[in-house]
Amino acid sequence: MKIAVPKETKLKENRVALTPDVVKDLVKKGFEVIIESGAGTGANYNDSIYTAAGATITDKNTVYTQGDVVLKVNAPAADEITLMRKEAILISLMWAATNPQLVEACEKAGISAFSMDAVPRISRAQKMDVLSSQANLAGYKAVLLAADTIGKILPMMTTAAGTIKPSKVVIFGAGVAGLQAIATAKRLGAVVEVTDIRPETKEQVESLGGKFIEVKGDASIKIEGGYVKGVSEEFLKMQQELVAKHVKEADIVITTALIPGRKAPVLVTEEMVKSMRYGSVIVDMAVEQGGNVVGSEVNKTVVKNGVTIIGEGNIPALLPMNASDLYAKNIATFLIHVADKDKMKWEMDEEITKGSLIVHKGQAVHPSVKKQTATA
């Protein structure tokens, strides 16, 4: 099978789907790998390194037209999908439930498409869990972005001129990104407070040295696969009221809350932003999905009432070497699970295949998109 890796075209995207070390492993397993020239430049991998690893460097058109399997970080644009030959396979992030145009393009092209964000979060698939590997890095980088922006240090420091109090960091969400943000902020010496609507996260937060801001849950909270799938407006209002005092006293606020397939919940209101001290910093990690913070803007840093709001839409791409390396290992592990060097396995009832296959030979098959197709 010929594995093809195009260059990413999304704004500010520096990652690449395969790194040279992973290319070398795939070549040893019998796959042929072709890479678009310049695909790895943003992650500091030049064409010669890929050539040394056993890949063939070529142009964009050849990558799409000759690839049996196209590997990407972000899904291709519709005009790129039209270049793929019928019955070729796409493996990338797709966010298919909220991207019907992409699904339609795959159907029209007669290809099959797997979405890395739809891989079931089960123990057997941990090595394929792109969302966790990228969120881990994003949580780390979010703290550094805030620390670099705020006009003070994070740890307590005693000097001859007096003692500097530690900065206070409030983190919304104790998922993978939130937990890494807690650990990073604590390592930098900050006082860390954390809120999450899942009470079971309290122990994890406290084990990392964070203080858990506990909000009593209610029956409206629906959790599935580790994600919050639904929560009532009443609960969100109660959460906002409780954490408002903590936000007011914070130097840094980091929000990480996402609901798959839906707009991100608003957690930090305009009033909460206004209550914060002049010079405080907020990092909205959910900005691409609508944002947790009123006033945040995608890929922009804005100042509202003296508070800096960072809306970096693709934080993992700011750490392209590590992010690409982890993504490449995730996607290569997935590839080897669904294919061998000669053909796709097409084990349609197997849990990982069934959970991640969005389009099969031009037909939408995933429940999340079959419903959309039926109502379109």
Q: Which residues are tagged catalytic?
A: 121, 126, 129, 132, 227
Tokens of 184: 């990073």
Place of tokens 């629906």: 222
Q: Using an 8 Å Cβ cutoff, are 188 and 157 in contact?
A: no
Q: Which two tokens stand for residue 36?
A: 């678009």
Sign of CA dihedral 46, 47, 49, 53: positive
User: Do 110 and 104 meet the contact criterion of CB atoms below 8 Å apart?
Assistant: no
For 83-110, letters b (16+ CB in 10 Å) and e give: bbeeebbbbbbbbbbebeebbbbbbebe
Determine the Cα–Cα distance for residues 168 and 191; give it in Å rounded to an integer.
Answer: 5
Dihedral over Cα of 141, 254, 151, 184: its sign: negative
Which residues is 212 bridged to in the sheet?
194
Rounded to the nearest 10 degrees, the angle between the axes of helix 100-109 and helix 367-375 is 90
Torsion sign over Cα 358, 319, 298, 222: positive
**Which letter, b or e, does each residue of 332-343 get, where b requires 16 or more Cβ atoms within 10 Å of its Cβ?**
bbbbbbbbeeee
CA distances from 85 to 65, 91, 108, 141, 161 (A): 6, 14, 11, 39, 70
- Strand, coil or helix: what is 166? coil
Whole-angstrom Cα distance, residue 235 to residue 369?
A: 29
Angle at 93 between CA 359 and CA 43, to 5 degrees: 145
Strand partners, 195: 172, 213
Amino acid in the structure at residue 110: G
